[in-house]
Structure 1
């Protein structure tokens, strides 16, 4: 019995779990061989799953939707509480962009294929724009504040710690806060064939990330120090501030979460982000 977990620093639960041995002990009672595959870019998760490199992983809302649209066999396991991370759609303080509709004909930098694609889709839809009305510039998942500034775009979709880094370099203004656009949940999912063959290990994984989030909520200083040493950068102080307002917790897939994912999937299909319409619920069983 074994489990191979994909982990990257944009997903805090799996990242913390991979670095704190004591949190792994309950999981090892079910899956005696627990391994972690570490990488920096969460967008690699679905590829690693379908290639059999990892059994389970976690990302934001977008990757499992894209995977399902490509007929890849992934199964939802759990979701986190919403994460209203500091930041959102951000512009220079003197920018003429005041509303989401003002993004027409403008450029925006973000990590394409991450949860930020979902956030932009909501913004574009809400403003009554077409997807092509906004010029998208891809930026690395580990981009720092200076990388966003160097992108030379009219706006950025950025959250802490990069958002705090950007604020130290330039005067900026938030047009749409993160929580006004998306719930920004962590999504835990696995390779379908593995989940069906290893239900006990899949349940143990969900229990482990839930316990990790509970532990993290009570150990913010330790978590902040750990994350400051990751490829996401940031200082312990910046991380501590962001973590203090984080909504911790992992729960089973429910109707509300599936409705959020379906809404995103429908937007993606309408905007041509995914090749076909999907029924999200089909990946939850």
Structure 2
């Protein structure tokens, strides 16, 4: 083969390689575990997915535990869920890492009673029935609040119900108290239920963005880009009340939920996506210690579950430009 012929062949090979790389980059995908279309709706409403150079495959769940299970078996690359399920998996050495924090207003996690209930203070729960979900914010909130009030969980008739069933049970009068989260807090408030306590100053009630070790190794740039776009979408909601309403209306239509509930929930939630920091890890340790103390998991250093290397993707545009 002549020198010119070799150069032409090499050029064709390089061109083919670059085209193949482009196709592979375009064909790349991220499998995302979402809950009830929440993250998908806000990202689409904010328009942050318009120029996405890879595919997002959304998988929808109704609760955090199945998201955690899917992450554990590797059927997701990344998922969004409350802190307890991934912290439970961390105690088992699961191949996952927390790469971002999604913090909402803690008033959306609350202990409620019916409007006509004789229960006026946390101390009054003694001897009454309360519905919680084991290994969740609701259990952590109720037990922590009762401890502050000098009431032992053994002095309460506990019923273990999912959030939807607990809400129905309160309405029907089969339980006196529920500890729950959104949108059930807002739904109950609109029906006249009274709040006895919220997670504020009681429990962390953090939400995590969790990725598998496999995805971190193979799809780091995609994960970082997704995290950046998620932050942009949440910032968009906070930038204008009209944006929050648009997000709520879109979500309500998609899920066939009550629009007023959605509007009140999202306006109050004020969700922000932020980097992994020492404060978040310290709060996570409190949750690990709580569930360890009541015998649900074995205690361990929560810091081992966090990966702060994605923090760069959550920096401001000016900070990123300076890097």
| RMSD of aligned Cα (Å) | 2.8
Q: Which residue of 2 aligns with 1:256?
A: 279
The reply to whether residue 24 of structure 1 matches residue 49 of structure 2 is yes
The separation in 2 between residues aligned to 1:14 and 1:187, in whole angstroms, is 16
Q: For 2:94, what is the secondary structure of its paired residue?
A: coil
The reply to whether residue 2 of structure 1 matches residue 29 of structure 2 is yes
- 1:93-242 aligned within 5 A: 93-142=115-164, 145-146=167-168, 148-150=170-172, 152-169=174-191, 171-217=192-238, 218=240, 219-229=243-253, 231=255, 234-242=257-265
TM-score (norm 1): 0.84
Give CA-to-partner distance per residue, 1:54-101, whole Å, 9 cap, x none: 111111121111111222222011112332344611113443433334
CA contact (8 A) 1:82 1:183 kept: no
Higher relative contact order (CA closer than 8 Å, sequence separation 6+): 1
The separation in 1 between residues aligned to 2:170 and 2:299, in whole angstroms, is 32
TM-score (norm 2): 0.75
Residues 223 and 195 (structure 1), Cα distance of their counterparts in 2 relative to 1, 3 Å cut: same
The separation in 2 between residues aligned to 1:64 and 1:131, in whole angstroms, is 25
Deviates more, 1:124-133 or 1:150-159: 124-133
Where do 5+ consecutive residues of structure 2 fail to align?
1-27, 308-323
Where do 5+ consecutive residues of structure 1 fail to align?
none
The separation in 2 between residues aligned to 1:177 and 1:5, in whole angstroms, is 30
The reply to whether residue 12 of structure 1 matches residue 38 of structure 2 is yes
Residues 64 and 151 (structure 1), Cα distance of their counterparts in 2 relative to 1, 3 Å cut: farther
**Number of corresponding residues:** 277
CA contact (8 A) 2:33 2:59 kept: yes
**Structure of higher CA gyration radius:** 2
